[in-house]
Amino acid sequence: MSFPSSTAVGSTSGQLDTPKTSRNLSLLRIPTSPKPVYTFSCCEGETGCALATPVSMGSWFKGIEMNLTPLGIVHTILSLTAVASMLTALLRDRQISPSSRIGRIYIWSLIATCATGLLIFRHGTVGPPHVLGVLTLVVFGVAAIAGRHLFGRYSAYIKTISYSATVLFLMISTVTETFTRIPPSAPIVARPDAPVFRLIYLALLALFLVGVTSQVRRLRAASSP
C-alpha cells in the first residue's frame, strides 16, 4: 500500500493544504449557551452611555420574578392596560374621549394606576412618580369639570388639552419606569435622573404639542359655520 506524498498535489510550498471541508465545518458551530442581551447604562458621568455587561435571558426572567411585589404586579397590569387603550384610542379616534368605551377604559385604568402608584415607595420616600400621579389625577378632574361645560365656550378646548396632558404624563412615567427597570439585573438606564431622559422628555413634549395643535384645529373647524 502506498501513501501520498507530504506535498499536496498542485502545491509548490511543500506544506499540506488545509482541507476546505474542515474550514467550512468550523463555520457551522451552533452556540449552546443563550445569546447575551446587551444593554446600555447612562450612570457614568453626566453625558454618554457605556456598554454594560451582557445579561443572559435566564437571569432576565428570574429578575422579573424577584423585582415585583403583588401590588407592583397589579400596578403594572393597570399601567399596561392604560397604555394599550391610549394607543387604541389615539389610532382609532385621534383623541381621548369619555364618550367612547376605549376612552373610558383608558381613563379608569390610568386613575387606578395613579392610585396604586401612590402606595408604592420604590426608594422609601415620596418621589417624582407620586407627584406625577397626583398631577394626573388633578388634570383628570379638570377634564371632568370641562366636560360639564363649566368653562363656557372654552370647555371643549380645556377638556381636549387636559386628556392629552394625561397621555403625556403617562408616557413620561412609562418610559422612565421601563428604562430604569428592564432588564432587572442591568437596566437600560441606571437612574431616573440620567441626562438621557431630558432628551426623551423633550421629544415627548414636542409630540404632545403637535398632537394638541392638531386637535385644537379640528375643534375650531368643527365649530366654525
pTM above 0.75, yes or no: no
192 inside domain: yes
104 inside domain: no
Report whether pLDDT(123) > 90.
Answer: no
The answer for residues whose C-beta is within 8 angstroms of residue 136's C-beta and 6 or more apart is 110, 114, 166, 169, 170
* Lowest-confidence segment of 3-12, 45-54, 116-125, 173-182 by average pLDDT: 45-54
In which residue are the cell numbers 419606569 written?
Answer: 177
218 inside domain: yes
In the Cβ-directed half-sphere of 73, how many Cα atoms lie within 13 Å? 7
pLDDT at 114: 96
Q: DSSP 3-state assignment of 102?
A: helix
How does the average pLDDT of the chain come out, rounded?
78
Residue 37's φ and ψ, nearest 5 degrees, are -105, 125
Residue 53's φ and ψ, nearest 5 degrees, are -70, 140
The amino acid at 213: T
In the Cβ-directed half-sphere of 83, how many Cα atoms lie within 13 Å? 13
Cβ(187)–Cβ(42) below 8 Å: no
29 inside domain: no
**pLDDT tens-digit map of 158-183:** 999 999 999 999 999 999 989 988 88
Residue 41's φ and ψ, nearest 5 degrees, are -120, 130
pLDDT at 67: 59
Domain count, the chain: 1
Cβ(102)–Cβ(95) below 8 Å: no
Confidence of residue 78 (pLDDT cuts 50, 70, 90): very high
What would the mean pLDDT of 76-105 be, rounded to a whole number? 95
State the Cα angle at 191 between 75 and 176, rounded to 5°.
Answer: 40
The amino acid at 105: I
160 inside domain: yes
What would the mean pLDDT of 136-152 be, rounded to a whole number? 95
Cβ(200)–Cβ(174) below 8 Å: no
Q: How far is CA 99 from the centre of its chain?
A: 28
Task: Tell me which residue range forms the domain holding 202.
Answer: 40-67+125-223
Cα–Cα distance list, 108 to 7, 29, 83, 151, 218 (Å): 82, 53, 12, 23, 26
165 vs 19 pLDDT, higher one? 165
Report whether pLDDT(204) > 60.
Answer: yes
163 vs 36 pLDDT, higher one? 163
63 inside domain: yes
Report whether pLDDT(157) > 60.
Answer: yes
10 inside domain: no
199 inside domain: yes
